[in-house]
């Protein structure tokens, strides 16, 4: 029965998977299609081929030397433990002979989240992606946990990233860890020519009103991919991308966002620098971060869960504010984002620490640029004020000079009038009326002669 459900999922379902993994699994899918594959072939002799046990795996800090322990019942789990959930291999909704399906893992997450002995969750992701069946529900369960959920990514691609980014933080396992492949595609093999060569002829008959039944697939077989892209791929991809944008709001590198959501896969530290993950670290680091987040939530009295949906926006690391100050101070490789800095400042305020605040590099750069512009503007204003002051001073000097000149002129005129009134200073000859000259015009020669003759005659007589 399990093989049949697996076969149905492989042959009939839609998958979101990283491309190299698809190529690796294609031979297996082909053997299943031809009936040559048996699940028992992958089980060692003498091993029980029953379903994987639905045990609760936890890591208990005060018993760290024991490592990850499995418990049949949560009642046996020590208090203060971190629930550990493993998502490995191709993700399937139903359980297979190799691993639990997302339906069972989701159930274990919900049970652990509701138990008092569990304080946080760590999801160990080592998956290229998988079936879209039940995927949104599984991601919604992770998003809806009341306790912190940290995703530790060894390989977290495609459907795996859809699920993992719904947690509160993502820790990249190492320099070779793979994260991304955020995108949607479909591929299939056309056996029609082989079947025709073998004498097999297909007859497809639709009901009268079922004109669009499987039409997109039929067009794709003919080489027309537009209908299947519009009807299936683009709508599914839009949901995928919107989920990532909302879960990683404020964290994705804005300049790289188009590339990040185009299906690229990133290795190691690149996932942290571009915002797909929050920090590099080991499994122990992921547990430590989950405990810090749990401690911060307990201190702040916050245990409000996100809604169990992939359309919930959240800042910082989601529903529980983790110790941002600790992250800034001691987590190597942590992406110092604006929400992280804001959370750290909130914690400073909550602790009653005043007179100090943290600022992100981006904000500091912006403030520095603003300061430079302010200095330039202030210098320009100062220069303009000085020029105005100089102009006022020059205007005053000119006014004073005119006033002094007018005063000297008035004094000179008064002095002239005073001198004119002194004895001996009177004019001996009256001034001639205006329009006449004070200089006597010389007489003509005849008039002079007559005057001489007249005077001569008077003297003789």
The pLDDT assigned to 65 comes to 81
Q: How far is CA 244 from CA 135, 240, 343, 401, 411, in A?
A: 14, 6, 21, 78, 93
Domain boundaries, the chain: 2-187+239-331
Q: How many whole angstroms separate alpha carbon 461 and alpha carbon 458?
A: 5
How many other β-carbons are positioned within 10 Å of the β-carbon of residue 106? 22
Strand pairing class (81-88; 129-131): unpaired
Residues 6+ apart with CB under 8 A from 112: 56, 58, 74, 83, 85, 118, 121
The pLDDT assigned to 31 comes to 62
Q: How many whole angstroms separate alpha carbon 59 and alpha carbon 49?
A: 27
The pLDDT assigned to 320 comes to 38
CATH topology of domain 2-187+239-331: 2-enoyl-CoA Hydratase; Chain A, domain 1 (3.90.226)
Structure tokens at 392: 């006022």
The residue assigned the tokens 């339906």 is 103
Q: Tell me which residues of the chain have a pLDDT lower than 70.
A: 1-54, 97-98, 298-340, 343, 347, 351, 360, 362, 423-448, 452, 456, 459-461
| pTM (predicted TM-score) | 0.59
Q: How many whole angstroms separate alpha carbon 272 and alpha carbon 340?
A: 14
Label each residue of the chain as H, E or C: CHHHHHHHHHHHCCEEECHHHHHHHHHHHHHHHCCCCCHHHHCCCCCCCCCCCCCEEEECHHHHHHCEEEECCHHHCCCCEEEEEEEECCECCCCCCCCCCHHHHHHHHHHHHCCCCEEEEEEEEEECEEECCCHHHHHHHHHCCCCCEEEEEEEEECHHHHHHCCCCEEEECCCCCEEECCCCCCCCCCCHHHHHHCCCCCCCCCCCCCCCCCHHHHHHHCCCCHHHHHHHHHHHHHHHHHHHHHHCCCCCCCCCHHHHCCCCEEECCHHHHCCCCCEECCHHHHHHHHHHHHHHHHHCCCCCCCCCCCCCCCCCCCCCCCCHHHHHHHCCCCCCCHHHHHHHHHHHHHCCCCCCCCCCHHHHHHHHHHHHHHHHHHHHHHHHHHHHHHHHHHHHHHHHHHHHHHHHHHHHHHHHHHHHCCCCCCCCCCCCCCCCCCCCCCCCHHHHHHHHHHHHHHHHC
The pLDDT assigned to 95 comes to 83
């Amino acid at each position: 029965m399990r093989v049949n459900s697996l076969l149905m999922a492989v042959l009939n379902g839609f998958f979101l998977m990283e491309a190299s993994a698809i190529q690796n699994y294609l031979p297996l899918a082909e053997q299943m299609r031809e009936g040559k594959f048996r699940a028992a072939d992958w089980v060692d002799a003498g091993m029980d081929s029953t379903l994987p046990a639905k045990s609760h795996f936890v890591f208990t800090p005060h018993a760290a030397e024991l490592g990850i322990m499995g418990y049949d019942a949560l009642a046996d789990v020590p208090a203060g433990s971190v629930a550990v959930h493993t998502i490995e291999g191709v993700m399937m909704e139903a359980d297979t002979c190799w691993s639990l399906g997302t339906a069972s893992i989701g159930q274990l997450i919900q049970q652990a989240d509701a138990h008092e002995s569990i304080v946080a969750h760590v999801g160990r992701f080592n998956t290229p992606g998988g079936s879209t069946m039940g995927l949104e529900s599984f991601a919604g369960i992770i998003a809806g946990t009341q306790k912190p959920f940290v995703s530790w990514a060894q390989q977290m691609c495609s459907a795996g990233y859809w699920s993992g980014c719904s947690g509160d933080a993502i820790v990249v396992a190492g320099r070779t860890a793979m994260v991304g492949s955020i995108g949607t595609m479909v591929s299939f093999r056309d056996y029609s020519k082989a079947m025709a060569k073998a004498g097999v002829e297909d007859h497809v008959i639709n009901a009268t009103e079922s004109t669009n039944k499987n039409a997109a697939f039929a067009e794709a077989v003919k080489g027309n991919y537009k209908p299947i892209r519009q009807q299936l791929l683009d709508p599914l991809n839009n949901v995928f991308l919107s989920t990532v944008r909302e879960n990683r709001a404020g964290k994705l590198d804005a300049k790289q966002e188009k590339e990040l959501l185009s299906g690229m896969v990133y290795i190691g530290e690149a996932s942290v620098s571009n915002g797909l993950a929050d920090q590099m670290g080991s499994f122990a680091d992921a547990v430590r971060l989950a405990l810090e987040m749990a401690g911060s939530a307990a201190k702040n009295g916050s245990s409000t869960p996100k809604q169990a949906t992939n359309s919930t926006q959240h800042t910082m690391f989601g529903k529980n504010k983790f110790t941002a100050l600790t992250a800034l101070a001691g987590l190597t490789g942590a992406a110092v984002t604006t929400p992280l800095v804001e959370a750290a400042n909130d914690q400073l305020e909550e602790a009653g620490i005043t007179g100090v605040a943290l600022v992100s590099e981006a904000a500091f750069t912006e403030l520095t640029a603003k300061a430079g512009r302010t200095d330039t503007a202030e210098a320009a204003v100062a220069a303009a004020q000085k020029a105005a002051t100089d102009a006022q001073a020059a205007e005053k000097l000119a006014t004073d000079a005119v006033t002094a000149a007018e005063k000297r002129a008035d004094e000179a005129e008064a002095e002239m009038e005073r001198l004119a009134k002194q004895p001996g200073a009177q004019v001996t000859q009256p001034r001639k009326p205006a329009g006449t000259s004070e200089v006597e015009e010389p007489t003509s020669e005849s008039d002079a002669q007559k005057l001489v003759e007249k005077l001569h005659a008077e003297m003789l007589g």
